[in-house]
Amino acid sequence: MSFSFGVQKDPIYGTYGEFTIGSEENRVRAQFLLTKMKPGSEGSWENALASQMVPWREVFNIEELTFDELLQRDLDDSRVAHDLIPYLLGQSGAFAKFFPPILAVLVPKKLEKTGIQPYYPKPQNRNGDGSISFGDLFDFEKAIIEGQVSPLGLIKYNRQKTAFIIVDGQHRAMAVLALHRQINDSWSGNSYAAFYNHLSLKENQVKSIELPICIVFFPDLYEGNEDYQKRGIDLKAVCREIFLVVNKNAKPVSQSRELLLDDEDLAARMMRETLSKLKGRGESEASVARI
């Protein structure tokens, strides 16, 4: 029998990868784990992760917030409660439903007050297989299967000292978090609970909801790495940059294309059928139409 009396860290399982582009002096190495979160009261690691994917406003106290720490737009709880959650529960939308992955950066919390620290502690490489430990904060491990490094990975995080900054998909994440809190009655006096109190849920309504997540960390942004500190590159800066890049480059669907694609709109379906018939005409029919 073995006992562990040290810092407790929760697991996250998934597949890992790395995304690094740019020249040597103009890049920040990013490593990621593709995984999932799940609302519910089963006590699984996916449930635990769902409870930790909180919105930006719960990581930062607005009274202590600096402009340097503005990392997200405001959350629209009315939209989450009346649009996204009904969609998740099958009360709106078509028959094929899916939420794309959210993107979250794993960061260290401040020791005092709220917010995040600019750098991780200096990491320690372990086992020579690319596994790495950031002290009491979190560990990243690569799974060894039959003596070979596999594409499967594990992050073990200390929920007391780390936070997840959601840089893309905060409304989707909030929809799942609200379902999780409603089922577990775990709002704990949260002032935004009133937006979701109308929800009456049973466990089986959410048992098949698993929201994909891409968790990112930046192993070179640690205390003492002067290459980045001299240039003012820290975790807050990269969170802001990723948020801006993702949202500035997102192109809305054009009104005409949305009209053609919407299966819930009878006019859109009729227009598609009409245009399909026109497109499938022969040359003689097309000439008649032009006359």
Residue type, 6: G
Question: Which range among 142-156, 244-258, 269-283 has the greatest average pLDDT?
Answer: 142-156
pTM: 0.83
Transcribe 155-172 into DSSP letters. EEE-TTTEEEEEEE-HHH
For range 27-32, the mean pLDDT: 93
Q: Label residue 225 by pLDDT band (50, 70, 90).
A: very high
pLDDT digits (tens, 9 = 90+) for 86-131: 999 988 767 788 999 999 999 999 888 788 999 999 999 866 778 9
Residue 291 confidence (pLDDT): 41
What are the C-alpha distances in Å from 224 to residues 106, 218, 239, 286?
Answer: 19, 14, 20, 72
pLDDT digits (tens, 9 = 90+) for 183-198: 999 998 899 999 999 9
Q: Label residue 168 by pLDDT band (50, 70, 90).
A: very high
Q: Of 64, 168, 53, which is closest to residue 112 (Cα–Cα)?
A: 64
Q: Label residue 288 by pLDDT band (50, 70, 90).
A: very low
What are the C-alpha distances in Å from 156 to residues 4, 60, 206, 229, 237?
Answer: 14, 23, 25, 26, 24
Query: What's CA 216's distance to the chain center, in Å?
Result: 9
Q: Give the span between the Cα atoms of 156 and 238, in whole angstroms.
A: 22
Percent of the chain beyond pLDDT 90? Answer: 57
Phi/psi region, residue 214 (left: phi>0; alpha: psi -120 to 50; beta: rest), is: beta
Q: Label residue 3 by pLDDT band (50, 70, 90).
A: low
Buried b (16+ CB within 10 A) or exposed e, 38-72: bbbeeeebbbbbbbbbbbbeebbeeeeeeeebebb
